[in-house]
A = this chain, B = another copy of it.
Amino acid sequence: MMDVMQNVNKDRDMGHSQADKARNRERILDEAARQIRETGLEALSVGKLMQKVNLTHGGFYGHFASRSDLIAQALERALLAGKAQAQAVRDPNKPRTFSAIVRSYLSRTHRDSRSTGCAISALVSDVGRADAQSREVMERHIEDFISAVSTALGDDDKGRAITAVSAMVGAIAMSRVLTDQKRSDAVLRAVRENIAAMKSDDAHANI
């Protein structure tokens, strides 16, 4: 009986050591990064977030200065997690080819896992109207993504990479709007096929 009570408390308290605090901070950030991708930057509620990680709302301010401080950090975390998620799928030994990037980015799996996928496509519109600080955070990741694609294409100029990234981000974002699964699938397929052609012709022909 006493043991049961203590276990219940353990689950809730999560310990009070410094290591526990650091671990809790990570859990809060990870969960926030998931939630903003799932429901947007503004929908995040401090109380619900803390409940989700089995803590009470009051403790939040031992970890973050304010809700908007958390959101800024969660956005960075979401962008990193989305990238890591993409790279976890592939074989770490082989270099990432252009077609491998396009295939995994424009997959139905990616479309259907908003809360763990790329934060750019999950939050472009939102961040487009956010403050300069948030925009700069995403800006760095957009640049990185473009650079990675440009390298995979073997281009000096970034024009084609920019176009491919725009099409990929737009396609995933739109595919999540479409309620008709066939149409949604068709968007992913069309962009995948049209864009794949970019690499196959080595002469820099039309796109």
**Please, how many angstroms separate the alpha-carbon atoms of A156 and B110 in the complex?**
29
Q: How many residues of A contact B (CB 8 A)?
A: 57
Interface status of A148 (Cβ within 8 A of chain B): no
Interface status of A15 (Cβ within 8 A of chain B): no
User: How far is the CB of A190 from the nearest CB of chain B, in Å?
Assistant: 4
Copy number in the complex reads 2
The interface stretch among A80-88, A92-100, A166-174 is A166-174
**Please, how many angstroms separate the alpha-carbon atoms of A177 and B44 in the complex?**
20
**Please, how many angstroms separate the alpha-carbon atoms of A183 and B187 in the complex?**
27
Interface status of A195 (Cβ within 8 A of chain B): yes
**Please, how many angstroms separate the alpha-carbon atoms of A166 and B165 in the complex?**
10
Q: Are A194 and B159 neighbours in the complex by a CB distance under 8 Å?
A: yes
Q: Are A207 and B190 neighbours in the complex by a CB distance under 8 Å?
A: no
Enumerate chain B residues within 8 angstroms of A39, measured Cβ to Cβ: 129
Chain A contact residues, majority secondary structure: helix
Q: Which of A80-129 contact B (CB under 8 A)?
A: 114, 120-129
Enumerate chain B residues within 8 angstroms of A198, measured Cβ to Cβ: 206-207
**Please, how many angstroms separate the alpha-carbon atoms of A104 and B132 in the complex?**
26
Interface status of A43 (Cβ within 8 A of chain B): yes
Enumerate chain B residues within 8 angstroms of A40, measured Cβ to Cβ: 40, 42, 125-126, 129
Interface status of A136 (Cβ within 8 A of chain B): yes
Q: Are B177 and A138 neighbours in the complex by a CB distance under 8 Å?
A: yes
Q: Are A177 and B127 neighbours in the complex by a CB distance under 8 Å?
A: yes
List 20 A-B pairs, Cβ < 8 Å: A39-B129, A40-B129, A42-B42, A114-B129, A121-B125, A124-B125, A127-B177, A128-B173, A128-B174, A135-B177, A139-B178, A139-B183, A162-B171, A162-B190, A163-B195, A169-B170, A170-B173, A195-B207, A197-B207, A206-B206
